[in-house]
Amino acid sequence: MQKPRKRKQISSETAIKIPPNKTKISNIEPYPSHLRPTPEECLIIRDELLEMHGFPEEFAQFRKDRQISELSSSNLVNGSVKSEGILEKVSVLDGLVSTILSQNTTDVNSQRAFASLKAAFPTWENVLAADQKLLEDAIRCGGLAPTKASCIKNLLRCLQERKGMLCLEYLRDLSIDEIKSELSSFKGIGPKTVACVLLFHLQLDDFPVDTHILQIAKTLHWVPEAADAKKTYVHLNQRIPKELKFDLNCLLFTHGKMCNRCSTKVGKRDKKENVGKPCPLLNHCKDL
């Protein structure tokens, strides 16, 4: 007669263990023998795109935030506590949620969704306590409302359980690697969202990769043709000088949206033409 199997005892520690986020960011260089882009290339292309487009207006406020952060750091180093003209930064939690709402939609729609969310729920405590259906209704204009609402609710619920408050300002005291690990632990928060929060809302040097930047990186042979967004993100973050990451990221993103030759959606919809201004990337790649 077959003996009954003993059930494996599960400790209380194992029972409450949260499974790791499958989107955890790796720092292992995927293309160690791929020596592009060089620092010189990055600087040249940054300057050429800046001359062509000027600095993109949509990122102007983030640039001011970085200047404010640098000024604040400088004052602390010099023993000064002056704060004249210093504006209060957008909270990290606001920045993260606005980034979640920007996924797979236009800037106009994501901004409208965030404004609608704030109008319906003045505080994050209100959002956490609200029925998810009401949250979905508030952000529906941004698209993917059920998915984004679930992600936001989970984020707030986890913050309340872990920290006892709905705030992410503690991230400002962590290193970049610690911030990546912390944000990646929340379900639905992927590498691109983490990178955007680092670059735009924490004023740290990182390099998010969207479809426009991925396509341009391949066109310029900065990454192999088969590279995906995650590997491109790791590679470019290790190759691009940190002092160029912010400007270059904003400019490549803007250029990718405006230039027919660099867009991933050529032939699928009308794009703005660079009338009278040849694409400056023509000088850096024979294939363009």
Please check whether residue 238 is in contact with residue 40, taking contact to mean a CB–CB distance below 8 angstroms.
no
Q: What share of the chain is helix, strand, coil (3-state, %, to 5)?
A: 60, 0, 40
Check whether 247 has a pLDDT greater than 70. Answer: yes
pLDDT score, position 259: 87
Instruction: Report which residue type is found at 72.
Output: S
Question: Residue 154 carries which DSSP code?
Answer: H
| Same domain flag for 173 and 209 | no
- Of 179, 202, 225, the position where a domain reaches its end is 202
Could you write out the DSSP letters of every residue in 28-59?
Answer: S-S-TT---S-HHHHHHHHHHHHHHH-S-GGG
Look at residues 51, 75, 121 and name the one whose alpha carbon lies nearest to residue 283: 51
Is residue 283, in this structure, part of any structural domain at all? yes
Domain count, the chain: 2
Predicted TM-score of the model (pTM):
0.83
Q: Residue type for 126, please?
A: N
196 and 210, same domain (yes or no): no
CA 191 to mean position of chain CA atoms = 7
**Last residue of a domain, which of 202, 227, 251?**
202
Q: Which residues have CB under 8 Å from 7's CB, separation 6+?
A: none
- For 193, the 3-state DSSP assignment is helix
Which residue segment(s) compose the domain that 45 sits in? 34-65+205-288
Pick from 60, 138, 129: nearest CA to 101: 138
Residue 81 in tokens: 């506590």
138 within some domain: yes
Q: Is the pLDDT of residue 104 over 50?
A: yes
* Structural domain contains residue 167: yes
Out of 137, 169, 202, a domain closes at 202
Which positions ≥6 away from 283 have C-beta within 8 Å? 48
Q: What is the pLDDT of residue 9?
A: 42
Given 192, 230, 257, 271, the catalytic residue: 192
CATH number of the CATH domain containing 54? 1.10.1670.10
Can you tell me the distance from the alpha carbon of 92 to that of 174, in angstroms, rounded to the nearest whole number? 13
Question: Per the structure block, which two tokens stand in for 15?
Answer: 């029972």
Chain segment 217-234, per-residue pLDDT in tens: 999 999 999 999 999 999
Neighbour-count burial for 52-91, b at 16+ CB within 10 Å, e otherwise: bbeebeebeebbebbebbeebeeeeeeeeeeeeeeeebee
Query: With bands split at pLDDT 50, 70 and 90, how would you rate the model's confidence at 184?
Result: very high
- Residue 277 has phi, psi (to 5 degrees) of -130, 100
Closest CA to 226 of 31, 64, 3: 31
- Whether 160 maps to a domain, the answer reads yes
Per-residue model confidence as pLDDT tens digits over 42-94: 999 999 999 999 999 999 999 998 988 877 765 555 554 444 444 567 899 99
Catalytic residue flag (residue 64): no
The answer to whether residue 70 sits within a structural domain is no
Q: What percent of the chain clears pLDDT 90, i.e. is strictly above it?
A: 70
Are both 231 and 283 inside the same structural domain? yes
In contact, 230 and 276? CB cutoff 8 Å: no
In a domain, 189, yes or no: yes
Give the whole-angstrom CA distance, residue 245 versus residue 205.
Answer: 6
114 plus 172 within the same structural domain: yes
Distance from CA of residue 53 to its chain's centroid?
22
Maximum Cα interatomic distance, the chain, rounded to a whole number of Å = 87
Shared domain for 149 and 227, answered yes or no, is no
Q: Is the pLDDT of residue 215 over 80?
A: yes
Please say whether the dihedral angle defined by the alpha carbons of residues 174, 178, 179 and 182, taken in this order, is positive or negative.
Answer: negative
Tell whether 189 and 277 lie within a shared domain: no
